[in-house]
Amino acid sequence: VTTQKLTELANFKIGAAVKMANITGEAAYSNTLKGEFNQLTAEFEMKMNFIWTSENNYDFSKVDYLVNYAQQNNMTVHGHALLWYQSFPDWFKNANYDTVAFESKVKVYIETVVGRYKGKIRSWDVANEIFNDDGTMRIESQIQGKFKDPVGFVGRCFKYAAAADPDCKLFYNDYSVVLASGKRNAMKNMAIRFKNTGVPIHGLGDQFHYRISTSQTTINNGFADLVSTGLLIHLSEIDCKVNVNNSPTYVLNSTDLQKQSDFYKNTAKLYNAIPANQKFGMTMWGITDKNTWLRDSGNGNKEYPLLFDEVYAKKPAYAGFLEGL
């Protein structure tokens, strides 16, 4: 079993979030990406603040690089994310547009970006994290502050994306979806409203940032509820924390590695069992523990959430993942 690859066993995409600097900077990173994954997502280079540098200027250099890299290596690209409250550029926030101007700028942005990569970026997260866990709207977001009907605005953005590339699969993406029933209900209600009003939504993403201590029963129940929507399901940013207390003196140990392996096995099993027409992919939020975003948080926390260790050796998590498929 251990000589097999995830991409050989899975009948859906095995994705990884990547950074261009790691691909160009380290052969082992690029080789692992090419050898073990068949879809990529930009960890940050396809977000609005990285692309939209000023009102009439777009920087597509890194996006172009990643899209070409994917094409050359037979990988698909999942776009992440057109709208996210954390990635509106400062110049855009500071311009303080009224509702009409705000929407017309965002419309041009979506048409420009989705249109440029028509047929190449075959799926996009149109909106990311608009709800709180209890299902209310996030107040930090530009969108919620401006629009009386923020969900209506988001729906129009799905339409702008679909007009720019009618074949692109369009997702709503958020975290803790299978744990937080309030958020999940808000997502389901939004999807129902979209379906009833002709808004093209194809899938729902649960980021799947969980931990070895997350209740498996809660995951199972929430996941079943999510699948009941009938939409495509993307586990879009998977990682599994072992150092659940963020302890600076944490020492990685075989017990926690085994728990992490079980997490990956159970997650793969769950996903594998959904109807074939709802399968889209499972995306890891990184490749190696060495450069996980969970180590960037500045508090020196020791974390080991992914499938490959610092020298690109497969962890027990990888074997667990395989077993679950």
**What tokens appear for 175 in the block?**
């975290």
- Regarding 283 and contact with ligand XIL (CB under 6 A), the answer is no
Within 10 angstroms of residue 183's Cβ, the number of other Cβ atoms is 24
Query: Which one of the listed residues 45, 103, 129, 303 is annotated catalytic?
Result: 129
Overall size of the chain counted in residues = 325
* Minimum CB distance to ligand XIL smaller for 130 or for 325: 130
* Minimum CB distance to ligand XIL smaller for 32 or for 207: 207
Shortest distance (Å) from residue 11 CB to ligand XIL: 26
- Regarding 123 and contact with ligand XIL (CB under 6 A), the answer is no
Burial of 122: CB neighbours in 10 Å, binned 0-12, 13-18, 19+: middle
Q: How many residues contact ligand XIL, by CB under 6 A? A: 6
* Minimum CB distance to ligand XIL smaller for 147 or for 175: 175
129 annotated active-site: yes
237 annotated active-site: yes
CA distances from 215 to 87, 219, 236, 240, 259 (A): 31, 6, 19, 12, 12
- Is residue 158 within 8 A of residue 114, CB to CB? The reply is no
Look at residue 137 and give its three-state secondary structure.
strand
Shortest distance (Å) from residue 315 CB to ligand XIL: 20
C-alpha span between 111 and 159 (Å, rounded): 10
* Minimum CB distance to ligand XIL smaller for 233 or for 325: 233
Within 10 angstroms of residue 8's Cβ, the number of other Cβ atoms is 10
* Minimum CB distance to ligand XIL smaller for 9 or for 20: 20
* Minimum CB distance to ligand XIL smaller for 42 or for 270: 42
Q: What is the DSSP string of 224-269?
A: HHHHTT-SEEEEEEEEEES-TT--TT----HHHHHHHHHHHHHHHH
C-alpha span between 268 and 264 (Å, rounded): 6
Query: Which one of the listed residues 26, 237, 303, 323 is annotated catalytic?
Result: 237
Binding string, 253-282, against ligand XIL, x = CB under 6 A? ------------------------------
Phi/psi at 272 (nearest 5 deg)? -60, -30
Member of 13, 33, 43, 150 binding ligand XIL (CB under 6 A): 43
- Regarding 207 and contact with ligand XIL (CB under 6 A), the answer is yes
Shortest distance (Å) from residue 128 CB to ligand XIL: 5
Shortest distance (Å) from residue 19 CB to ligand XIL: 7
- Regarding 293 and contact with ligand XIL (CB under 6 A), the answer is yes
C-alpha span between 202 and 195 (Å, rounded): 10
CA distances from 297 to 75, 94, 260, 293, 303 (A): 30, 26, 21, 7, 11
Member of 44, 60, 65, 85 binding ligand XIL (CB under 6 A): 44
Shortest distance (Å) from residue 26 CB to ligand XIL: 16
Shortest distance (Å) from residue 306 CB to ligand XIL: 12
**What tokens appear for 276 in the block?**
């074939």
- Regarding 141 and contact with ligand XIL (CB under 6 A), the answer is no
- Name the helix (H) or strand (E) containing 73: none
Shortest distance (Å) from residue 8 CB to ligand XIL: 28
Closest residue to ligand XIL using C-beta atoms: 293
Member of 22, 39, 128, 229 binding ligand XIL (CB under 6 A): 128
Query: Which residues are catalytically annotated?
Result: 129, 237
Which positions touch ligand XIL (CB under 6 A)? 43-44, 128, 207, 237, 293
